[in-house]
């Protein structure tokens, strides 16, 4: 489903009102997906070389978020593959910013999503890559690569969603609305992120009303929705590169994504997962 408008999207419409009317065929999407998979694979070497090393070069950016030498090396590796394979596409990356020539299609990179986990030796982090159609304001392809776990999730609305050779489908069920040990597991981002997004009280609402609430955050939590381990994830205050890949994968797997502009400027609040559970949580939180 189309995402609610964000400040970033509004800015794109203002500055770049017209895009070349170029559609991508299913065969072209498959070719671009293979390129994307090669790109995230190229990032695995620097990521795993720095993971649990003595010096990962951890610093904090102006917004307080952490970044490491591995983030920078991984994005450079991904960009190198993408520029060589699709020089006609624009690129937006968390660390290196935007290569923006007003092209309709754009790669969106988060080289290490879950930098806090990465920096503390916890293997629940990954690389995110999406191919965005800026005219339609949607992600055509998405990749979540979890290098420390050896799992890669890839696909999109036109191709379906896959983990390796396994086709993934999000199965909706009445279990989503049950309580007790038979209920679906719901995951939420850290309380810190709820506070920063101006919805700290909503974390308490989730704790009160959902007995199986766990803190599987970042792209690992999103991947577990795709795999079926989680029923839904509530994730406020996300940047565009945090969810561009996930939206394509959730749509390709038959799930639902609900979004709204966050109280945190330039960010988006998301609920993603089984359609009935996403709607149930939206009503529960009053979003």
* Residue-wise pLDDT tens digits, 53-110: 988 776 666 566 777 889 999 999 999 999 999 999 999 998 887 888 899 999 999 9
pTM for the model stands at 0.88
Per the rule left: phi > 0, alpha: psi between -120 and 50, beta: everything else, 37 is alpha
Give the per-residue pLDDT at 99.
Answer: 80
Residues 248-274 pLDDT 10s: 999 999 999 999 999 999 999 999 999
Are the CB atoms for 253 and 208 separated by under 8 Å?
A: no
pLDDT band, very low/low/confident/very high, at 187 (cuts 50, 70, 90)? very high
Q: pLDDT value at position 8?
A: 37
pLDDT band at 191 (very low <50, low <70, confident <90, very high): very high
Query: How many Å is the Cα radius of gyration of the chain?
Result: 18
Q: In the chain, which residue ranges form alpha helices assigned H by DSSP?
A: 7-15, 26-50, 69-85, 115-119, 191-196, 200-209, 218-227, 240-252, 275-285
Indicate the DSSP class of residue 87.
T
* Contact (CB, 8 A) for 71 and 111: yes
Helix/strand/coil for 198: coil
Domains and CATH numbers, the chain: 7-168 (3.30.540.10), 174-285 (3.40.190.80)
- pLDDT on residue 175: 59
pLDDT of residue 10: 35
Residues of the chain above pLDDT 90, percent: 78
Q: How confident is the model at residue 15 (pLDDT cuts 50, 70, 90)?
A: very low
Q: How far is CA 125 from CA 30, 98, 101, 164, in A?
A: 25, 23, 31, 18
Closest-CA residue to 127 (of 64, 37, 224): 37
């Amino acid at each position: 489903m189309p995402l609610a408008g964000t400040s970033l999207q509004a800015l794109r419409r203002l500055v770049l009102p017209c895009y070349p009317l170029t559609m991508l065929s299913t065969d072209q999407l498959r070719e671009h997906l293979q390129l994307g998979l090669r790109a995230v694979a190229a990032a695995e070497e620097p990521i795993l070389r720095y993971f649990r090393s003595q010096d990962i070069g951890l610093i904090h950016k102006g917004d307080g978020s952490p970044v490491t030498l591995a983030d920078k090396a991984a994005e450079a590796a991904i960009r190198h593959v993408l520029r060589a394979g699709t020089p006609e596409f624009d690129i937006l990356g968390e660390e290196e910013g935007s290569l923006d020539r007003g092209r309709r299609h754009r790669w969106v990179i988060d080289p290490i999503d879950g930098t806090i986990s990465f920096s503390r030796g916890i293997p629940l982090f990954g690389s995110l890559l999406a191919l965005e159609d800026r005219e339609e304001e949607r992600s055509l392809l998405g990749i979540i690569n979890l290098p420390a776990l050896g799992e890669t999730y890839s696909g999109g609305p036109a191709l379906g969603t896959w983990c390796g050779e396994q086709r993934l489908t999000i199965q909706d069920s009445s279990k989503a609305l049950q309580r007790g040990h038979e209920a679906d597991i719901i995951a939420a981002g850290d309380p810190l992120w709820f506070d920063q997004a101006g919805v700290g009280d909503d974390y308490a609402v989730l704790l009160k009303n959902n007995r199986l609430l766990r803190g599987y955050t970042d792209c690992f939590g999103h991947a577990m929705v795709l795999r079926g381990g989680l029923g839904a994830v509530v994730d406020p205050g996300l940047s565009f590169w945090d969810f561009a890949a996930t939206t394509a994968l959730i749509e390709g797997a038959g799930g639902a994504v609900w979004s709204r502009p966050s109280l945190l400027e330039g960010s988006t609040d998301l609920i993603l997962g089984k359609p009935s559970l996403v709607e149930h949580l939206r009503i529960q939180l009053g979003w």
